[in-house]
Structure 1
Amino acid sequence: MKLAIVDDNEIEQEIILNAYHKESGISLEIQSFSDGDSFLNAYKSGNYDLIFMDIFLKNLNGIDIVRKIRQSDLKVLIVFLTMSSDHIFEAAPLHFFDYILKPFEYKQIFHVLNDARQILPQSKNELSFEYRNINVHFPLSKIQYIYSNNHDVIIHTTIGSQLFRLPFYSITQNLDDPRFLQCNRGILLNMDYIKAMEADYFEMTDSKCFPIKTKGRKQIREQYIQYHFLKLEEE
């Protein structure tokens, strides 16, 4: 889930969002802005799933900022954070997702994020990243494995492979999904496509094999076994 915080006291929100990430295990991409001008200069339609917007900011206020956003983006979820309820009727035509009064409790933010996840299922079902000014998306269920080769990263899916000249971590750092297992440096496997686990390697359903690193091999093998054990329990 991609989030923006537009608040002159964004540190508190970042602490809460990081706590949510640790508790839920859901990956959050967070960008913070202390004023409206810097946010609007960086903003592009589709950059974020949800924006936490303070109403009382320097120069521009949060309602004016959202009015500008709504000219090009009707989908992004807006959560106003403010000290006063006086502006709720002014904000209503902008179709905000929530309106939270400060000081707020962390549970309120958790509740908003949980609700947002219910209407943003794509945020946890896709691998997304930017490549040469293009937003790239891969359904996680279709990715079989990802691996680095020199300066390239190959993403192999059920319909073939695509190559990207990017660092491995820049593609995989936000991929926080229990079905993916890093068995070695620069190798990430979708465990749903592992056909067999041998002593020192995994064989995929397309017969490609990947080595299991020596250090931490026991833990990697246990992670794979535990994943499939839990899947059997769910069936």
Structure 2
Amino acid sequence: MEVVIAICDDLIEERANLARMIQTYSQERDLPIQLCFFSSGEELLDAFHRSQQFHIVFLDIYMPNCSGMEVARQIRAAHDDTAIVFATTSQDHGRDSFDVQASDYLLKPFRQEDVSQALDWCLEHIPESVRCLSVYSEWEQRELPLSTIQYIDVYGHRSRIHTTQSVLVVRRGLDDLEISIQSPDFLRCHRSFLLNMNYVDSLEGNAFRMSDGTLIPISPSQTAQIRNQFIDWTYIKAWQQK
């Protein structure tokens, strides 16, 4: 998954300094990161209004015209899933940062360890709804939101990813894809099938009926265990939605 990060600061040297630390983190973790730069809160909000999505936003508070705190309030009002990290010179806005559910509050001048810790926390808490699976299919790199993947099955020596929009064929094994996804919403119910439990309509004997009508078998040697995993997941999901 490529992590998309926005840096919003009116000072170019501050943007460059923070970008270097994020790039160092990217190299140390072998994590692909896309950086986007904004010199004002208005520019950042315009990107949001154009439906540009960011996993993490590093936001200075003291900027002309539209303050970072006001930008954060507007982001939070429309985008619950975006992680906001304040990067500023003052501790005076601690309470305000709590009100907008900021993930962290960094004081300038930044230290590499502080930036790395903030990124670690944000990445550990990326919601399932915005996580993506990076795959190479049809001669291009694709970012597939996990929430759109219904199930994956084995097709010869390849895997087919069935999404809500299309079916993509990739030259990757199911074990590898399962490791990359690493989501509690996905269940390996058979050596040839990995399914997203959000798209299960019902349990029918030793199979799952998916929302598109597909019947996916349950491994005969693990029937009881897999059925229990699915039942436990449904209880947890129902409890989280209360």
TM-score category of the 2 structures, normalised to the smaller one: 0.5 to 0.7
Deviation at 1:191, TM superposition (A): 4.8
Tell which deviates more after alignment, 114-123 or 10-19.
Answer: 114-123
Deviation at 1:60, TM superposition (A): 1.1
Match of 1:189 in 2: 171
Q: Find 1:103's aligned residue among 71, 96, 109.
A: 109
Any residues of structure 2 matched to 1:58-69 within 5 Å, and which?
A: 58-69=64-75
- Residue deviations 1:166-212 (CA, integer Å, cap 9, x gap): xxxxxxxxxxxxxxxxxxxxxx7325579xxxxxxxxxxx9xxxxxx
**1:21 touches 1:28 (CA, 8 Å); kept in 2?**
yes
Match of 1:25 in 2: 30
Deviation at 1:90, TM superposition (A): 2.5
Deviation at 1:79, TM superposition (A): 0.5
**1:36 touches 1:57 (CA, 8 Å); kept in 2?**
yes
The TM-score normalised by the length of structure 1 is 0.56
Match of 2:5 in 1: 3
**1:79 touches 1:98 (CA, 8 Å); kept in 2?**
yes
**2:73 is paired with a residue of what secondary structure?**
helix
76 and 138 in structure 1: CA distance in 2 versus 1, 3 angstrom threshold: closer
Deviation at 1:106, TM superposition (A): 0.8
- 2: CA distance, partners of 1:126 / 1:143: 15
Deviation at 1:77, TM superposition (A): 0.9
98 and 138 in structure 1: CA distance in 2 versus 1, 3 angstrom threshold: closer
The TM-score normalised by the length of structure 2 is 0.55
Deviation at 1:78, TM superposition (A): 0.7
Match of 2:99 in 1: 93
Deviation at 1:137, TM superposition (A): 2.1
Deviation at 1:6, TM superposition (A): 0.6
Deviation at 1:92, TM superposition (A): 2.0
Contiguous gaps of at least 5 residues in structure 2: 136-141, 177-191, 193-242
**2:131 touches 2:145 (CA, 8 Å); kept in 1?**
no
Give the AA of the match of 2:7.
Answer: I
Match of 1:77 in 2: 83
78 and 61 in structure 1: CA distance in 2 versus 1, 3 angstrom threshold: same
**1:4 touches 1:52 (CA, 8 Å); kept in 2?**
yes
Deviation at 1:54, TM superposition (A): 0.4
Match of 1:42 in 2: 47
- 1: CA distance, partners of 2:108 / 2:26: 22
- Percentage identity across aligned positions? 23
Deviation at 1:36, TM superposition (A): 1.0
Contiguous gaps of at least 5 residues in structure 1: 129-134, 146-154, 164-187, 195-205, 207-235
156 and 3 in structure 1: CA distance in 2 versus 1, 3 angstrom threshold: same
Report the RMSD for the aligned CA atoms in angstroms: 3.5
Q: Does 1:126 align with 2:133?
A: yes
- 1: CA distance, partners of 2:123 / 2:154: 24
Give the AA of the match of 1:190.
Answer: R
Give the AA of the match of 1:4.
Answer: A
Q: Find 1:14's aligned residue among 13, 16, 19.
A: 19
Deviation at 1:144, TM superposition (A): 7.4
**1:144 touches 1:193 (CA, 8 Å); kept in 2?**
no
- 2: CA distance, partners of 1:86 / 1:97: 16
